């Protein structure tokens, strides 16, 4: 983007959960930066993901599906050591200062509203598994928030029930690692991996991820 340019984009705003209590905050932020670098290389965002201030990171994408997938990959990359809240937005973004990469606009306000909603909602026992939400800027055509949020709520609920091994297996599946290779890395049989894929709904999560990536 050029300075002063405005575009309708998908915005991704992330916030680390509980990182201020980590014993080694430098190590936590190192893992976050490495995760963002991998996503930047794989998904080619419009504005590369980067840590902005404190425990937050952000970036922009051409379409919402890419932002949704980026958030999932980051969350899995950091789990289970570091948990992440994610706010997704859709709306106009303006580059105010190219040198500092300062951006503003309804697209970012939407992402901020989404992540603030997540912060409030996960404090309630019935919805404690919620980690992701999407908001669309007012009067901006784009993906329907109700449909997208329904899928995100269900995905978060299933992910919230997974143990560490199943999260690692899901991370492998999402990044196209074969079940045989996952089994070798885990030191278990391919049959044990398949059983977890079926029992924990990992195959459904992978299929849902593929569908969500297609959202434009």
**Site of tokens 């992330």:** 14
- Per-residue model confidence as pLDDT tens digits over 155-172: 999 999 999 999 999 999
Residue 18 to residue 132: CA distance in whole angstroms: 16
| pLDDT top residue among 17 and 73 | 73
pLDDT of residue 116 exceeding 90: yes
Tokens of 123: 């404090």
pTM of the model: 0.94
Which residues are 35's β-sheet partners? none
The domain spans of the chain are: 6-143
Model confidence at 22, in pLDDT bands (50, 70, 90)? low
The topology under which CATH files domain 6-143 is: Alpha-Beta Plaits (3.30.70)
pLDDT of residue 211 exceeding 80: yes
| pLDDT top residue among 3 and 42 | 42
Share of the chain above pLDDT 90, in %: 83
């Amino acid at each position: 983007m050029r300075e002063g340019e405005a575009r309708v984009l998908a915005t991704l705003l992330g916030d680390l959960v509980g990182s201020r209590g980590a014993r080694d905050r430098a190590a936590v932020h190192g893992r976050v930066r490495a995760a963002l670098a991998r996503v930047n290389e794989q998904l080619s965002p419009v504005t590369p993901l980067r840590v902005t201030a404190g425990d937050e990171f952000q970036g922009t994408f051409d379409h919402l599906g890419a932002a949704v997938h980026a958030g999932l990959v980051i969350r899995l990359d950091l789990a289970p050591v570091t948990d992440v809240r994610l706010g997704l937005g859709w709306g106009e973004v303006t580059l105010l200062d190219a040198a500092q990469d300062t951006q503003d606009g309804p697209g970012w306000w939407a992402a901020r509203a989404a992540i603030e909603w997540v912060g409030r909602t996960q404090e309630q026992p019935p919805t404690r598994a919620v980690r992701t939400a999407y908001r669309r800027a007012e009067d901006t055509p784009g993906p329907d928030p109700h449909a997208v949020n329904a899928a995100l709520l269900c995905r978060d609920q299933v992910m919230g029930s997974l143990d560490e091994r199943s999260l690692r297996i899901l991370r492998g599946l999402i990044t196209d690692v074969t079940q045989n290779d996952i089994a070798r890395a885990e030191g278990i049989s391919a049959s044990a991996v398949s059983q977890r894929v079926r029992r924990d709904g990992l195959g459904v999560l992978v299929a849902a991820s593929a569908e969500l990536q297609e959202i434009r």
